[in-house]
Amino acid sequence: MTNPWWIIGGVLFVLLNAAAGLIWLERRMLALWQDRYGPNRAGPFGILIVLADTLKLFFKEDWIPPFADKVVFVFAPAVVAASVLMSFVIVPFAPGIVVSDMNIGILFFLAMSSLGVYSIVLGGWASNNKYALLGAMRGASQMISYEVFMGLALMGVVVMSGSFNLSVIVEAQKNVWFIFPQLIGFVIFLIAGIAETHRLPFDIPEAESELVAGFHSEYSGMKFGMFFIGEYLGITLISAMVVVLYFGGWLGPSFLPPVIWFVIKTFAFIMLFILLRASMPRPRYDQLMEYGWKVLFPLSLLNLMVTAAIKLWLSTH
C-alpha cells in the first residue's frame, strides 16, 4: 500500500487539473461540432486559455451584492466543490488507487451528491434575487427527484454484485460489464447523472434564456469559478461512476495499465456529455419532472424488480 496522502494528493491534483482542462476541452469540442475553432490562440491548441481564464477569474472584482446574505453567499460555492470532491473519495481508479475503499461506497456517493443540492439552494437563496431563487428552487426539485431513481437504478448493479463497495463492483464485472445486463439501469443512471450535474439538456436551474444565469446570477470572480469547477468535477464524477458501475472500471486488455483504461473510458463519457450539450435542446421544466417521475421512476423500479427476481432465480437454481 502506498501512502494514502500521496493518493489523496494525486487524486486532487489530477481532478482539479482535469476539471480546468475540461473547460478548454469543452470549448474546443463545442467549437468543432459547430464548425468553429474554439480557443486556439493561447499556447499550443489554445490550452493556456485555461490559465488565462483562471487568472482572469482571480483578478475579477470579488463582488458581493449589498442585498445578499453575505455568510451564506460565500459559503454556498464552497459546498459544491467540496461535496463533489468528497464523492471522489470512493472512486477506485485502479486496483489500490482509491482514497478510501469503504464498503458503503455507493451510499457515500449518493449522500455526497445529495449534499450538492445545498450549494444550489443556498447560493440561490443568499443571492436574494428572483432569478437566482427560481433557479435554486428548480435545481432543488430536479436534483431531489432525479436522485431517487438514480439510487434505484444503481441498486440493480448492487444486486448483481452483491456489494456497495465499488472495488468489489468492478471486480464483479470481470466476465461481463454490467452495461449488458443492466442496460436499462445504465440509461437511467446516465440520464439522472446529467440531471444531477444540471448539464445541458437539463441545465434548467441556470437556463440563461429564462433565468439570466439561474442560481449563480449574482456570482462573480472566484466564487463563480467554484461553481464552474464544481460543474466540471461533477461531469468527471458521473463519468467515472458510469465507468465504475457499468463499464468495468479499470478492467481492460492488459496492454495498457488499468488506470489508463479507467481514464480512457471516463474521458469517453466526458466527451459524450459535451456532445449532448452540443446537440440537445433544453426541455421545459414541467417536461423534465414529468419525464422523471412518470417514465424513469417506474422504469427504474421495474429494472430493480426484474434484476432482483433474476438474481433470486439464479441463486435458487
> Do the beta carbons of residue 222 and residue 57 sit within 8 Å?
yes
Gap between the Cα atoms of 234 and 168, Å rounded: 23
Q: How far is the CB of 37 from other proteins (least distance, A)?
A: 5
Gap between the Cα atoms of 111 and 13, Å rounded: 23
Does residue number 287 form part of the binding site for other proteins (CB under 8 A)?
no
> Do the beta carbons of residue 178 and residue 303 sit within 8 Å?
no
Does residue number 295 form part of the binding site for other proteins (CB under 8 A)?
no
Question: Given candidates 13, 37, 59, 180, which one binds other proteins under the rule CB under 8 A?
Answer: 37
Gap between the Cα atoms of 52 and 46, Å rounded: 10
Smaller CB distance to other proteins: residue 81 or 296?
296
Smaller CB distance to other proteins: residue 291 or 297?
291
Please give the DSSP secondary-structure letter assigned to residue 46.
Answer: G
Q: Quick one: cell of 285?
A: 421544466
Does residue number 86 form part of the binding site for other proteins (CB under 8 A)?
no
Question: Given candidates 86, 276, 289, 308, which one binds other proteins under the rule CB under 8 A?
Answer: 276
Question: Given candidates 8, 86, 278, 310, which one binds other proteins under the rule CB under 8 A?
Answer: 278
What's the number of CA atoms in the CB half-sphere (13 Å) around residue 99? 16
> Do the beta carbons of residue 100 and residue 61 sit within 8 Å?
no
Q: How far is the CB of 191 from other proteins (least distance, A)?
A: 11
Q: Which one of the spans 33-41, 55-63, 113-121, 207-215 is the region binding other proteins (CB under 8 A)?
A: 33-41
Please give the residue ranges that form the binding site for other proteins (CB under 8 A): 32-37, 275-276, 278-280
